[in-house]
Amino acid sequence: MLCDLHLHTCLSPCADRNMTPAAVAGLAKLAGAQVIAVTDHNSALNLPAAAAACREYGLRLLPGLEVTCAEELHLLCYFPTLEAALEYGRQLYDTLPDIPCDPAIWGEQWVMDAEDRLLKRVDRLLTAASAWSLEEAAARCRALGGEPVPAHGDAASYSAFSVLGLLPAQYGFSAVELVYPERKAEYEARGLLPSGLEVLASSDAHFLAAVGSRMGTLAPDSVLQRLL
């Protein structure tokens, strides 16, 4: 199953405004994806529209979001149901600092319906860091039946490598997203990555042309299979 499991929409202030859930789903379908995950920064509020659009296009949606943990590193959280993702998003929103999103500085944060209509704007800046540590964000994800996966673990910023120096085994992750998945064995040999993790590679698209530009395949024994 071809999948792109890291996609932003116009709910993320750093994404393009034409990244509506319907547009993202339609482009992913054109790119050949069978499963997608919409993973906006610190919010699940565009998932209902994404789910409706995916139904329309015959795509599977893995409900997700991308948490900015207190350590300023990004954690993808995937859930078995839309409701679980929305519940996680509600809990997470309350842990964000009360910094209003100034669209002139940060960009807009749009909640859409599946017909590209604007439903509302989100007040708090969604790219700010949550009060949850990486450990707490992961534990709360698991408590709702979800699977936490460190995002772009080997990236130059907002990553386990850039913030912690490595991905410690003690967090118990089963999978990691890498920018350079071909370097997995090297990372393991250098002690940067626990051995045997499942590696995901996705587009992290913030603009339309990037949707589906990097896709992976979900193996039959993928830890994410239980969520589909």
- Residue 140 interacting with Zn ion (CB under 5 A): no
* Closer of 38 and 58 to Zn ion (Cβ): 38
Binding mask 84-123 for Zn ion (x = CB under 5 A): ----------------------------------------
* Closer of 37 and 218 to Zn ion (Cβ): 37
Instruction: State the nearest-atom distance from the C-beta of 195 to Zn ion, in Å.
Output: 24
The binder of Zn ion chosen from 147, 154, 198, 204 (CB under 5 A): 204
Rounded Cα distance, 14 and 99, in Å:
16
How far the first Cα of the chain sits from its last, in Å, is 12
* Closer of 112 and 117 to Zn ion (Cβ): 112
Rounded Cα distance, 188 and 210, in Å:
29
Rounded Cα distance, 115 and 26, in Å:
12
- Residue 74 interacting with Zn ion (CB under 5 A): yes
- Residue 193 interacting with Zn ion (CB under 5 A): no
- Residue 154 interacting with Zn ion (CB under 5 A): no
Instruction: State the nearest-atom distance from the C-beta of 175 to Zn ion, in Å.
Output: 15
What does residue 205 show for φ and ψ, rounded to 5 degrees? -65, 130
- Residue 201 interacting with Zn ion (CB under 5 A): no
Q: Are 193 and 161 in contact (CB under 8 A)?
A: no
The binder of Zn ion chosen from 19, 65, 151, 200 (CB under 5 A): 151
Instruction: State the nearest-atom distance from the C-beta of 205 to Zn ion, in Å.
Output: 8
Q: Is 183 exposed, middle or buried (0-12, 13-18, 19+ CB in 10 A)?
A: middle
Instruction: State the nearest-atom distance from the C-beta of 126 to Zn ion, in Å.
Output: 11
Instruction: State the nearest-atom distance from the C-beta of 189 to Zn ion, in Å.
Output: 26
Buried b (16+ CB within 10 A) or exposed e, 136-163: ebbebbeebebbbbbbbbbbeebbbbee
- Total site size for Zn ion, rule CB under 5 A: 4
- Residue 198 interacting with Zn ion (CB under 5 A): no
- Residue 46 interacting with Zn ion (CB under 5 A): no
The contact set with Zn ion (CB under 5 A) reads 66, 74, 151, 204
